[in-house]
Amino acid sequence: MEVKLMNTIQDLVNYLPRFGNHPALQGKEGREVITVTFQELFERVTAISRGLMELGLQKGDRIALFSSNRPEWLQISLGINNAGFVDVPRGENSTAEELNYILRHSRARILIVENSQLLDKIDASSLENVDRVFSIRPIDEVDGWQSLICGKTSNSSTGKAEKAEKAEKNGDFPKLEEDCMASIIYTSGTTSLPKGVVLSHGNLMSNVSAVLRRITLTTEDKLLSILPAWHAFERIAKYIALASGANTFYTNSMNLRKDLAEQQPTAMVSVPRIWEMVYNGVAKKIRESKTIQRKIVIWGLRGAVDFCRRRKFDPLRLVQMPLYWFMDRNVFSKIREGFGGKLRLVVSGGSSLPAYIDDFFRAIGMELIEGYGLTETSPVISARVPGKPSLYTVGPVLEGIEARIMDKETGREADPGETGVLLVKGPGVMKGYYRNFSETKRVLYNDGWFNTGDLACFDKTGNLRIMGREKDVIVLLNGENVNPIPFEIALSQSEFINSAVVVGQDWKQLGALILPDMEALLHFCRGVGMDVDGRKLYSTFDSVEVQELFRDEINRLVNNVSWCKVYEKIKKFSLITEPFEVGRELTPTLKPKRAVIEHIHHLNIEHLRKAINGPEEK
C-alpha cells in the first residue's frame, strides 16, 4: 500500500506490519530503553481496539485521553481511532477547569488518564456520564490501560472469548470512511473557553500525504519526540514517522540534551522556544569564555551569518569563505555534535521563528524547515522546501491546499508583498467546532474557505510570511495599528530578558511587561557592586541600575532601530517576577496567552497605562 492510499487512520494501522520488527516507538523506563516494534505496535493497537469494542461503545463515541507525551498515548489513540471511536486528547499541563470543561462538553463515555495527579483534577460531577475510567500509570481502584487489551475488559470470561472470536471472524473492525470523525482537539482557549476542533480521518491523513510530498523520512530515520502528544503538530509528525517506517524516540525537556547525544536522532520537530533555548545556551557559553576567544567567536558568527545571507555567486562570498570554513571546523561542528551529529531534518512550527534564530541555525550548518498551520487545518498549511533556503518565511503552501490573502479593508485579494488576512481551503480543513455552530460559522465559510485569523503575505517567489494574529494587533489612540510580535521577538534577543509582552490597546504609546532572566540579572547586579540576595532579586527592580539596564536594552533592540516608527517606540516598561507557566500563561507550544497574562498582571498594566496616558485618560 502506498502512502497516498491511506485515507483513514485505520489504513495507517493496517500498514504497520509492513515494517515488521523494525523499531517503531522507543522510550526510557529508568535507564532502560523500551522498544515497541511495528509488528508489536500493530498487535497492541488492534488489541486495544477490540477491548474498547467490548465495552459496548458505538461508532463515533468519544473517549477522553488526558496524558503527557509517552508511547502509551499513541498506542491508545490509534486503538481508539482504528475501532471507529473518537479521541478527545489533552495534556498534563492543562488546568482543572479546562479538563472538566472538555470532559463535559465532549460528552466522553470513557476517560483514560495518565496518573492520579490528572485524575485528581476531575470533579465528581464531570464523571457522572462517564462509563469507565482507565489509567496509564497505576492508580488504586482504577483499571490500568493494559486491561483494554481484548479479553480483559469484560466481566464474563465466556463472553469475552466469544466476542474476541467474533471480532476476528468479522475482520475485526467496522470499515471507516474519510469523513468519519477521528478526534476532537480543544484549542487552548486564550481568550475564551476552549473550542473543540473536529478532525476527520480524511483531514489528518490528507495532511500526512501532503507533508510527505514535501518532506521525506525513511526506515533509516529516528525522530526525537518532545512536544505534547495531543497537539496536532506533534501528532501528524508521529503519523508521518509511522507511515515511513521511521523510529520515534520519546524524550522531554529535562533529558533532551542527553538523549540527543545518546540516541543521535536524524529528525526532530519542535517549536521556536526550544530552538531559542539552544541559541541561548550557546550564547551563554560564548559570554562566559575568555575575552579574546569571545570576541573571535562573536566576530566569526556575525561573518558566517552574513556569508549565508549572500547569494551563491556573490564575489564577497569568496572573500568570506575561509572565515566560514574556520568557524565551521572549530565552532559550528562542535555545536552540531551536541545534537548527536546525525540530525538532518530539523522542523520548527507552532509559532513564528525569530529571524535571529533562523540566521543562527543556517550559519552553524543546520537547515531549519519552518512550517505553518493550525489545529483547524490538521495542521500543516505550508513548509519550506528542504535544500531551497527561504529564510524568514514558512515556505510555499502544500500541494492540494489553496490559500489567498484578503485585504481586510477593501475585501479584495492582496497582491504579493501586501499583508492581509490568510484564508485557506483544502482537504485538511476541519469539519467545524464541536457543538459550537456560531463559532464555526464565523471562521468557516459556506464555500469551504477557512479564515485563519492570521496576518500574512506572499513574497514574489510564492513563499508565505506570517506576520502575526489579527486579534493581537494593538490599536493606539492615534489610530495606528501595531503588531506586537516583532517587538517581543526583538526584545527576546537580550540576555537579560526571558520573555516580553507588549501592551497598549487605546494608549498613546506602547508599554511592555518584561520577565527578566534572573540568572543574567543577578550576574549584572553583582558586577556593578550591588549587594543582593539571589532569592530576593525582585528587590532590585526599582533600582536606578536595573531600570537603566532594561531601558538601554529596549532602546538598543527596539526604539533605536531603523524599522521602528516613532509611534511604535516602547515608552514604559514593568518588570514582573513570576515565570510564565505552560497551562497558565503559555499554551502547550509555548505561545503566550495574552488575555491570561493581561488578567494576571492587570495592576502592572494599569500602572503603565497611567504612566503613558496620564491618570485621567482611559
Q: Indicate the residue type of 331.
A: V
Tell me if 236 sits within 8 A of 380, measured CB to CB.
yes
For residue 402, give Cα distances in angstroms to 186, 222, 289, 377, 429.
25, 32, 50, 12, 11
Burial class (CB in 10 A: 0-12, 13-18, 19+), 600: middle
Other beta carbons less than 10 A from residue 184's beta carbon = 25
From the list 579, 572, 577, the residue with the least C-alpha distance to 605 is: 572
DSSP codes joined into one string, 159-193: HHHHHHHHHHHTTSSPPP-TTSEEEEEEP--SSSS
Alpha-carbon distance of 421 to 425, in angstroms, equals 14
Cell of 275: 530552538
**CA–CA gap between residue 456 and residue 500 (Å, rounded):** 22
**Nine cell digits for residue 348:** 520548527
Q: What region, left, alpha or beta, does residue 451 occupy, with left being phi > 0 and alpha being psi -120 to 50 degrees?
A: beta
Condensed to tens digits (0 to 9), the pLDDT of residues 15-70 reads 999 999 999 999 998 889 999 999 999 999 999 999 999 999 999 999 999 999 99
Percent of the chain with pLDDT over 70: 95
Strand partners, 112: 65, 134
The predicted pLDDT at position 152 comes to 57
Report the alpha-carbon distance of residue 86 to residue 173 in Å, rounded.
Answer: 14
Quote the CA–CA distance of 184 and 204 in Å, as a whole number: 12
Residues 456, 467: contact at Cβ < 8 Å?
yes
Nearest to 347 by CA among 223, 468, 456, 449: 223
Cα–Cα distance measured from residue 420 to residue 411, given in angstroms and rounded to the nearest whole number: 9
pLDDT tens digits, one per residue of 342-389: 999 999 998 888 999 999 999 999 999 999 999 999 999 999 999 988
Distance CA 594, CA 600 (A): 10
561 burial (CB, 10 Å; 0-12 / 13-18 / 19+) is exposed
Nearest CA to 136 among 190, 192, 81, 89? 89
Burial of residue 451, with CB atoms counted within 10 A of its CB: 0-12 exposed, 13-18 middle, 19 or more buried: middle
Distances (CA, A) of 57 to 85, 86, 108, 136, 528: 8, 11, 11, 20, 67
pLDDT at residue 617 above 60?
Answer: no
Percent of the chain exceeding pLDDT 90 equals 74
97-131: b or e for each residue (b if 16 or more CB lie within 10 Å)? ebbbbbbbbbebbbbbbbbeebbebbeeebbeebe
Confidence of residue 176 (pLDDT cuts 50, 70, 90): very high
Classify each residue of 230-257 as buried b or exposed e, where b means 16 or more C-beta atoms within 10 Å of its C-beta.
Answer: bbbbbbbbbbbbbbbbbbbbbbeeeebe
Reply yes or no on whether the pLDDT at 394 is more than 90: yes
The answer to whether the Cα torsion of 330, 331, 332, 335 is positive or negative is positive
What band does 189 get if pLDDT is binned at 50, 70 and 90?
low
Residue 510 pLDDT exceeds 90: yes
How far is 499 from 514, CA to CA, in rounded Å?
6
Q: Model pTM greater than 0.75?
A: yes
For residues 479 and 18, the model is more confident at: 18
Listed in sequence order, the residues at least 6 apart from 23 whose beta carbon sits closer than 8 Å to its beta carbon are 35, 36, 37, 38, 247
**Averaged pLDDT for residues 482-509:** 93
DSSP string, 485-508: HHHHHHHTTSTTEEEEEEE-TTSS
> How many Cα neighbours within 13 Å face the side chain of 209?
23
What's residue 318's pLDDT? 85
Instruction: Read off the pLDDT of residues 401-429 as tens digits, 9 standing for 90 and up.
Output: 999 999 887 889 999 899 999 999 999 99
**CB neighbour list of residue 146: distance below 8 Å, 6 or more residues apart:** 152
Average pLDDT, the chain: 91
pLDDT greater than 90 at residue 608: yes
pLDDT (tens digit per residue) in 271-319 = 998 898 888 888 888 888 888 888 888 899 999 999 988 877 788 888 8
The predicted structure's pLDDT at residue 408: 80
pLDDT score of 157 more than 50:
no
The predicted pLDDT at position 1 comes to 39
Q: Is the model's pLDDT at 162 over the cut of 90?
A: no
Enumerate domains of the chain plus CATH numbers. 3-176+215-266 (3.40.50.12780), 272-336+351-422+449-471 (2.30.38.10), 473-613 (3.30.300.30)
What is the per-residue pLDDT for 616?
A: 61
Residue 79's nearest CA partner among 29, 32, 12 is 12
DSSP secondary structure code for residue 479 in this structure: S
Rounded Cα distance, 109 and 61, in Å: 7
Residues 43 and 13: their CA atoms lie apart, in Å, by 10
Mean pLDDT comparison of 238-247, 314-323, 324-333, highest-scoring range: 238-247
